[in-house]
Amino acid sequence: MPEIVRRAVDEAEAALRFDFPAHARYEVLQRAAALVEARQEDYAWSIAREGSKTIREARREPSRAANILRLSAEEGRRIAGETLPFDSRKGSENRVGYYMRVPAGVIGAIAPFNDPLAVAAHKIGPALAAGNAIVYKSSPLSRAAPEMLGRDLMEAGLPAGRLSVVDGGDEAGEALVRDARVRVLSFTGGVATGERIAAAAGIKKLLLELGSNSPVIVLADADLPRAVSAVCDGAFAQAGQNCLGVQRVFVEDSVYREFATSLANAAGRLRVGSALDESTDVCGLITEAQAVRVERWVREAVESGARVLTGGRRDDALYWPTVLEGVPAGAKLDCEEVYGPVVSLYSVRTLDEAIERANAVRFGLHAAIFTESLNNAFRAIRELRAGAVIVNDSTDYRLDVMPFGGVKSSGIGREGIRFAIEEMTEIKVVCLNLRHS
């Protein structure tokens, strides 16, 4: 497997010797977007069959991926620099110049199993739009959609070597991380793997999206039905296998019991079943081992005093949507990323307490607050330590043009088309020393 990665990097380096102008990149990405849209059902069923999403959830990915490719095409035509004021320093009056952005070169990308098509589009689209070549290592658990996207890009006219989609496990990933010819390494996954990548990568730019256990604050003045609906969707979509999923909810005392009862009832109404069943709301986790781990974390919390309001049941890889309260500080469900359909509720007296507890973990990807008070909303925006603060919506909201990423152990760098292009380009300064007239 490392040899496959080395050959892919060889081909990427060779492809970079040939011109691939912005207008050609634009046309390829636009044609590929049209092909993805034309094959939406094929993509959707491939995603659902691999087990990470229900078929209804999977159907949302192809149109999103097509949009990401189109956004990448447009942003690729707007890569620009600016002139520099060399005469701002005495003695440089005869100098003029500018800076421009140039392709970084070979991009390496390592992807998780969830959102297999959208994540691929988010890494491949900006990389190509910026003029790079990219070696994309998909997850062995969800490889069909990235491979289909690679074929569609080739059919759209992408020059050979500009994209290689490779499969494989840790050995393939390590080969990509350690290859000095890879100038930018984009990884989405867990903190432990991210730390290993940072230690092994050498001198290259790292873009690391490392997950979270996202907090939501619900104040007494919130629209409670709206908050319940958003939290339910945010906690249990994709069976909780989502780095933006709601995991911890801090509810003001006076409305805590009403909120907790409503959320437990909403979660209990969700239909659990096969990903291929059109009526399923929550499907199984990607593997039974992951469901067993979630079961173990819930059991540990309960043994330490937590109470299950609904759920807490496993059948093979299926884990029922679970709402808990009284999860003690320091339990895995409280401070680690569960990556499953489990949400923990906490009663708080004040916004200050909610913000303090929301920040009291090593993660900081997205946070959210439900309130009708602008003052409270802006206090949360100012004081929550997160890459994004969402007001009156779930943490599980992402617009593909947002600068997406987190703080603390949630990672470094930003995705989102324009911002990813900036990360995947280098700045080159041009200075001309002109003769005196």
Contact, 343 vs 235, CB < 8 A? yes
Q: What separation in angstroms does the CA of 292 have from each of 229, 259, 340, 411?
A: 27, 28, 10, 27
Strands (E), 354-424: 366-370, 388-391, 411-412
CA 64 to mean position of chain CA atoms: 13
Whole-angstrom distance, CA of residue 370 vs CA of residue 350: 13
Whether 325 and 260 have beta carbons less than 8 Å apart is answered as yes
Q: Report the alpha-carbon distance of residue 437 to residue 426 in Å, rounded.
A: 34
- 3-21 burial, b at 16+ Cβ within 10 Å, e below that, comes to ebbeebbebbeebbeeebe
How many angstroms separate the first and last alpha carbons of the chain? 62
- Exactly one of 11, 57, 174, 209 is catalytic; name it: 209
Query: 318 is written with which tokens?
Result: 């299926």
**DSSP for residue 220:** T
- The one-letter code for the residue type at 322 is T
Cα–Cα distances (Å) from 114 to 35, 201, 267, 361, in that order, read 22, 24, 22, 24
Nearest Cα to Cα of residue 190 among 103, 111, 107: 111
Of 243, 252, 283, 325, the catalytic one is 243
243 included as an active-site residue: yes
Cβ neighbours of residue 41 closer than 8 Å, sequence gap 6 or more: 59
Reply yes or no on whether 258 is catalytic.
no
Supply 246's token pair. 């709601």
Please tell me whether residue 162 adopts helix, strand or coil conformation.
coil
Beta-carbon neighbour count of residue 24 at 10 Å? 14
Catalytic center residues = 209, 243
